[in-house]
A and B are shown apart, each in its own frame.
Chain A
Amino acid sequence: MLKTLIKKEITSAIFDLRFVIAALLCVVLIPLGMYVSRKDYEHRLSAYQVKYQEYRQRHGKGVEPNTEAQAFRPPSVMSIFASGVDPFMPDNVTTARSGLFRTTKESIIDNPSSLLFGKVDFIFSVVFIVSIAALIFTFNSFSGERETGTLRLVIANSVPRSRILLAKVVGNYIALSIPFIISILVALLILDASPDVSIISSSVWPSLLVIMGVTFLFMLCIVNLGLCISAFARNSMDSIVLAFFVWALLAICIPKVSPMVADVLYPVKGANVFDTNKRLIADDIDHELVEEREALRTKCFEEFGAPESDMHTSRPWTELGRKATAKYEQEFAPVSDRYQNRLAEALRRLEQDYRRRTNVRSSIAMNLSRISPVSSYTYIVSELSGTGVTEPDNFGRNAQRYQDQVKQAVYDKIIVKRERYGEAYEYPNEFDPRDALIPEMTYMYPTLAQALQTGLPDIILLGLFTVLFYSLAFMKLNRYDVR
């Protein structure tokens, strides 16, 4: 009986105009989007390679006192599926001897039109096109039958209502999956035709598989949502309006509004305010250091009774002045070190505080937006693509690691001697600055296991949403009264 019901659902869905339109949209948009994302990835990859090679050729070997090693972020292969935060990510890290690395971003705008309208990557197609298609497929499956009166007939038979619902879910889901699977296959063919990407490489297929699995779960969730809306509405006119409303709420409002709400609930000062604070603290500590230095100098000079005229020249004229300066320099070294440590500690604390606050805000925003299955879906897929919300932090970690690596290999080898006129540099004996290689950055995107660990709550939520919508629809259908 269930089989017959499902078959009936599938045939009724397939012979409809909706199916033709959905198939047309899927088959046009998903492969074309894939083609464009692939091209875009190839561009980004070639740009990365050009920059990288040129840098290695020019600065890959040889250390100078003012060397600042640079490294570049390779684009993630999976960013073809979800560009996510990739267009906003920095792609260049410049290390520094002081330990404060800088990150920069190329600012060439190649194609303003495509930036204005955004990209049609896989995730966009699924979130906007496939989800609307799923709602359009299902919005009148109960309300329409109720209007035409066929629901009475079906219910009058000895079929359990749960079967009817299940048949509708499965039938519509299969009918929706057909154009989707076809277009995915075409898209994957297009992807595999690229010289730079191969689907079977170990960095692609496991993530791809998980993304596909999650996408199918998401589609099931939206189909259930459509049925649920249909069960709640009285006629198909109401259900289309309701479906539109719910769609706008889930796909647009909740994801876009939740970061703003989080910002209102838990305001965090912007990064530039944080930078200013950092600078202010550094200035304050510097100021104290200068005061203490001057006091120390005066003390040393008074102790030796050296003339004051020697105090502010770098080359004292009298013997006493020279002695006083020597003593001052000797005593100043620990003071200077202490201030350095204090500065580092203060900056670290400030940074930690800022990071903690942004993390709290970010988790509020994330959890708020998880009311909508669309945001859960977006989080997982972008995470698996290496372009998710955790990627900026990951970039920071990679940059820090690279900084440490360069520090060990290069900066620690340069011995700076402070002399009266500037600085002098020495190298250890076994270290040949001309032959020394600048280390390369191995940029690590989160592995599949890590991404899954981060995305696990979202996957569970998607499952929960599916069950929730299904049971809501079932509940409403069970209470449906034929009279």
Chain B
Amino acid sequence: MFRTLISKEIAETVLGLRFTIAMLLCVVLIPLGMYVSRKDYEHRLAGYQREVQTYRQRYGTPPPPLTGGEEAQGFRPPSVLSMFASGLDPFMPDKVFTSQSGLFRTVKEAGIDNPQSLLFGKADFLFNVMFIISLTALIFTFNSISGEREKGTLRLMIANSIPRSQIILSKIIGKYFVLLVPFMISVFIALFIFDASPVVSIGSPEVWPALLIIMVATLLFIFSMVSLGVCISTFTAHSMGSIVLLFFVWAMFIIGVPRMSPMIAELIYPVESGSVFSFRKRMVRDDIEKQFEQVKKETIDSKQDAERESLQEATRQKLMEIAEHERADGRESSLKAAEELNRKYNVRLREIGAKYEPQIQRLVEECQRRIASELNRVEQDYRNRRNIQFSIAMNLARISPVSCYAYVVSGLSGTGVTEPDNFVRNARMFQEDINQIFYDKVFYMFGRQRRTEGFNASDPLSFPDMRYRYLNLTEAVQMHWPDILLLCLFDVLFCALALMKFNRYDVR
């Protein structure tokens, strides 16, 4: 019986206009989106390779003598799976400059190639599933119960001795299978296009496991959308009402909840923006520097100045004595004496400078340490606050299955919400590598001048490439298993709601 019900459901949907349209949309949009994303990825990859190569040729091996001012550059390779979800990729920095101070900076290329496509956004796989497939799923199902109720066929069916749970399950499963047909066809075409690219292959170990999980998540998501549609259908009396309700729910899930939740999180837990924060960091640094300047003036500079002045005074007196004795000693010898005096004065001056040099050095070092620890503290604080806001936003957005799905797919594609932090981690690691290889070997000579040892023309320094590490599959899954779980829960929830409502349906 159950089988008959399902096959009836399938036959009915396949022969409808909706199926044709869904087929058309899927088969056109998903492969086309994949083709464009693939092209885009190839562009980005070529750009990355070219940049790395140019960098290697021009700056990778800086010619000695090295001063410590050399900056090693690291580049972020595009993630292969960003073809499926471009996510944050267009906003991510793609270059990191290390520096001797230990503060690396990140840069983003600002060339706008194709303003039209930026204006309208990309139609990648994630977008197609989120917008087109979800809407199709709802359009497939919105009148499955309410339509039959209107026509009166529901009465007839319920009057038979079929359990209601079977009716509703057959509807969900039937619609789900029908929807999967155009989806699967278009995904196969898309994967074919994906595999036709010379630079990627589906069989590679970094692609297929993640791709498998993305597909599983997508199937779960489509199921949740189908059961949501059936659920809406049971809640409304006629199909007109259900189409309107569907529109509302769809807009809320796709647009309302995911886009509003960051704003609501900002209202609940406001955190200053990055630019204000960097301004505050600079203020902190300036304040500490000013303090130390004051301390230096009071303790070291005053003593040094006093000593210098007394030296100057003594020298001047001696000079006057020489001048007085000039007539007696003769011009030649007094000139010699003056020269001797001058030499002594210079030596003495240098001695005074050298005497205070270590103290100043110590003070400067202490100042640097204070600044570093203070900045670290401020940054930690800021990061904590931002993380709290961020997790509020994320958890709020999880009310909608659409955002759970977007989190999973973009996370697995290496373009998710945690990627900016991952970039910073990678950049820090790169900075540490370069520190070990190069910056730690820079030392000071004569105060300001910097020299490096051990790097000469015969053994030039070659900066290593940055090994950018995207989150691997286990890490990504670990990060996003709540989302996958939530997707399953949504499936169950919508089915249960539909069943509950349908069980209470009264024929009268």
Contacts and interface: CB of A to CB of B under 8 A. Distances in A.
Contacts of B266: 39, 111
Given A87-B91, A112-B417, A271-B111, A46 B276 contact: yes
A140 B259 contact: no
Given A114-B263, A120-B259, A120-B260, A140 B115 contact: no
Interface string A31-61: 0110110010001001100110010000000
Contact of A116 (B17, B109, B416): B416
B229 interface: no
Interface stretch (A3-11, A205-213, A236-244, A461-469): A236-244
Interface in A37-90: 39, 43, 46-47, 50-51, 54, 84-85, 87-90
Interface stretch (A191-199, A245-253, A303-311): A245-253
A105 B108 contact: yes
Contact of A21 (B39, B117, B245, B259): B245
B449 interface: no
Interface string A101-135: 00111111111111111111000100011001100
A108 B114 contact: no
Contacts of B21: 241-242, 244-245
Interface string B229-241: 0000000000111
Contact of A259 (B112, B116, B244, B260): B116
Contacts of A88: 90, 110, 112, 118
B256 A28 contact: yes
Contacts of A270: 43, 46-47, 113
A172 interface: no
A46 B33 CA distance: 38
- State the main secondary structure of chain A at its contact with B: helix
Nearest to A53: B279
A17 interface: yes
A389 B262 contact: no
Nearest to B85: A116
Most B CB contacts (10 A, CB to CB) among A117, A119, A238, A271 go to A117
B247 A47 contact: no
Interface in B223-281: 239-241, 243-245, 247-248, 251, 255-256, 258-263, 265-266, 273-276, 278-279
Nearest to B419: A112
B238 to A, nearest CB: 10
A301 to B, nearest CB: 28
B132 interface: yes
A109 B88 contact: yes
Contacts of B47: 270, 272
B143 interface: yes
B91 to A, nearest CB: 5
B107 A104 contact: yes
B255 A120 contact: yes
A24 interface: yes
Contacts of B107: 104, 107
Nearest to B390: A113
B417 A47 contact: no
Given A29-B256, A32-B263, A113-B261, A272 B244 contact: no
B256 A109 contact: no
A382 B120 CA distance: 11
A108 B403 contact: no
B173 to A, nearest CB: 22
Contacts of A90: 110
A177 B346 CA distance: 88
A138 interface: no
A388 to B, nearest CB: 7
Contact of B243 (A240, A252, A273): A240
A272 B46 contact: yes
A128 B247 contact: no
Interface residues of B, number: 88
A95 interface: no
Contacts of A389: 115-116, 119
A392 B244 contact: no
A260 B244 contact: no
A362 interface: yes
Q: Interface on chain B toward A: helix, strand, loop, or mixed SS?
A: helix
A263 interface: yes
A241 B17 contact: yes
A115 B25 contact: no
B462 interface: no
A94 to B, nearest CB: 11
B123 interface: yes
A119 B110 CA distance: 21
Contacts of B54: 276, 279
A397 to B, nearest CB: 14
Contacts of A236: 239-240
A108 B113 CA distance: 21
B117 A260 contact: yes
A153 B369 CA distance: 88
Contact of B112 (A29, A89, A118): A89
Contacts of A36: 263
A87 B119 CA distance: 10
B255 A129 contact: yes
A458 interface: no
Given A241-B17, A257-B123, A107 B116 contact: no
A390 to B, nearest CB: 8
19 contacts: A29-B255, A47-B274, A85-B112, A85-B119, A103-B110, A104-B107, A104-B108, A105-B109, A108-B278, A109-B420, A118-B259, A241-B139, A244-B135, A245-B24, A252-B132, A253-B25, A253-B123, A256-B122, A392-B115
Interface of A: 16-18, 21, 24-25, 28-29, 32-33, 35-36, 39, 43, 46-47, 50-51, 54, 84-85, 87-90, 103-120, 124, 128-129, 132-133, 136, 140, 144, 236-238, 240-242, 244-245, 248, 252-253, 255-260, 262-263, 270-273, 276, 279, 358, 361-362, 365-366, 369, 375, 378-379, 382, 388-392
Given A89-B112, A272-B111, 10 more contacts: A29-B256, A50-B275, A110-B386, A113-B390, A245-B25, A248-B135, A263-B114, A365-B114, A388-B115, A391-B115
